[in-house]
């Protein structure tokens, strides 16, 4: 032992104590945590409780019940193993369906995003064609934008490219103003309000806003002495005219917007069909949530009827969802 202690560079007494401690330790480490064993009698009580409540009490609830009844304290995963064979197989989540607009001028989306310039609040208003991702108009205004700002720049886009069948927005109060209602009625444009706090429904526009923010930020960091308006003009030019889009088979937004036009249905007939479909859905509604989404469903049903929407991809059509932007 003395030779081994010298080799290790420690005293013989220290080596002796270490060997004594090692020999005193158990050959197998003690298990950590509380034991998972539940007696047969308690297992049957847990299983019967689960059956008595028609399988609606989950493992966490049953664990609480065990503590209240004085049966014992176990974690939810231990209780779950007791009732595993009684539980229904979980339903497989089907891939959510997304809609894809099939032609330009069918649907535009409108939104805005905030900037700051020398301490001043500015808002960039952007209207985009949902099929081509083409920005049909934009305007930088003092933020937050007012109704006359939105009405003015939308009318400018209607006059330049012609109005779409549908314009999609997030339900902002601006779209309920008298001037906005008059504009949409005059050009016979149907409005589609997306679900609140659910950006997936307006996914293309949300992605577009991110692209605008990202490109403007890159220009600002490049060191070029450009104003905010100049940076945004260059950003929109890149997104509309220069950038080939993989989702558009390598074409630019401008090329798709100008080359893929189709004959659209007569506006009055289209509106009439939407109104009739909405009436049918409202008559069949069983809840307030179904009433709220009747207009959206009616517009989509009629667009599907005219093959102006196709179903594809995996973005949720859950009209009532509360929060993946594509």
Residue 90: pLDDT over 90? no
Tell me the pLDDT band of 79, cut-offs 50, 70 and 90.
Answer: very high
Stretch 90-100: mean pLDDT: 67
Tell me the pLDDT band of 200, cut-offs 50, 70 and 90.
Answer: low
Residues 6+ apart with CB under 8 A from 101: 107, 130, 131, 303, 308, 309
pLDDT at position 174 is 81
CB 107 within 8 A of CB 166: yes
CA dihedral 127, 130, 136, 142 (to 10 degrees): 10
274 to 67, 121, 166, 192, 326: CA distances (angstroms): 57, 39, 11, 11, 27
CB 219 within 8 A of CB 226: yes
pTM: 0.70
Helix orientation angle between 40-52 and 59-69, rounded to the nearest 10 degrees:
120
Just give the CATH number of 108-264.
3.30.420.10
pLDDT at position 199 is 59
Tell me the pLDDT band of 12, cut-offs 50, 70 and 90.
Answer: confident
HSE (side-chain half, CA atoms, 13 Å) at 195: 21
Beta strands at 166-169 and 190-193: parallel, antiparallel or unpaired: parallel
pLDDT in tens, 244-288: 988 898 999 999 999 988 899 999 999 999 999 999 999 999 999
pLDDT in tens, 137-174: 999 999 788 999 999 999 999 999 999 999 998 877 78
Helix orientation angle between 228-237 and 203-221, rounded to the nearest 10 degrees:
130
Residues of the chain with pLDDT > 90, as a percent, come to: 61
Residue 320: pLDDT over 50? no
Stretch 187-212: mean pLDDT: 80
Tell me the pLDDT band of 7, cut-offs 50, 70 and 90.
Answer: confident
Q: Would you state the structure tokens that stand for residue 185, as one six-digit string? A: 């009625």
Q: What does the mean pLDDT of the chain come to? A: 86
| More confident call, 30 vs 86 | 86
pLDDT at position 313 is 52
Residue 324: pLDDT over 60? no
pLDDT at position 60 is 93
Domain definitions of the chain by residue range: 40-86, 108-264
Stretch 22-36: mean pLDDT: 60
Residue 319: pLDDT over 50? no
């Amino acid at each position: 032992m003395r030779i081994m202690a010298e080799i290790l560079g420690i005293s013989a007494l220290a080596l002796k104590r270490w060997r004594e401690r090692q020999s005193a330790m158990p050959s197998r480490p003690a298990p950590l945590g509380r034991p998972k064993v539940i007696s047969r009698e308690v297992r049957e009580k847990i299983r019967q409780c689960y059956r008595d409540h028609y399988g609606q009490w989950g493992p966490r609830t049953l664990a609480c019940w065990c503590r209240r009844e004085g049966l014992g304290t176990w974690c939810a995963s231990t209780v779950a193993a007791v009732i595993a064979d009684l539980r229904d197989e979980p339903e497989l989540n089907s891939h959510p369906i997304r809609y894809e607009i099939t032609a330009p001028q069918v649907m535009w989306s409108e939104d805005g995003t905030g900037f700051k310039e020398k301490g001043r609040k500015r808002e960039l208003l952007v209207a985009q064609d949902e099929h081509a991702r083409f920005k049909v108009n934009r305007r930088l205004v003092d933020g937050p934008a007012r109704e006359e700002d939105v009405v003015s720049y939308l009318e400018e886009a209607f006059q330049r490219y012609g109005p779409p069948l549908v314009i999609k927005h997030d339900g902002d109060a601006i779209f309920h103003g008298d001037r906005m209602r008059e504009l949409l009625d005059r050009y016979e444009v149907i409005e589609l309000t997306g679900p609140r706090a659910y950006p997936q429904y307006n996914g293309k526009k949300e992605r577009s806003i991110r692209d605008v923010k990202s490109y403007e930020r890159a220009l600002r960091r490049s060191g070029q002495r450009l104003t905010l308006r100049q940076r945004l003009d260059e950003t929109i030019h890149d997104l509309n005219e220069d950038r080939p889009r993989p989702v558009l088979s390598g074409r630019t937004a401008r090329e798709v917007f100008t080359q893929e036009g189709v004959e659209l249905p007569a506006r009055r007939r289209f509106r009439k069909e939407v109104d009739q479909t909405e009436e049918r859905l409202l008559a069949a509604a069983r809840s307030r949530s179904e009433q709220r989404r009747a207009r959206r469903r009616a517009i989509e049903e009629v667009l599907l009827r005219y093959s102006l929407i196709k179903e594809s991809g995996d973005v949720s059509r859950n009209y009532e969802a509360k929060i993946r932007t594509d």
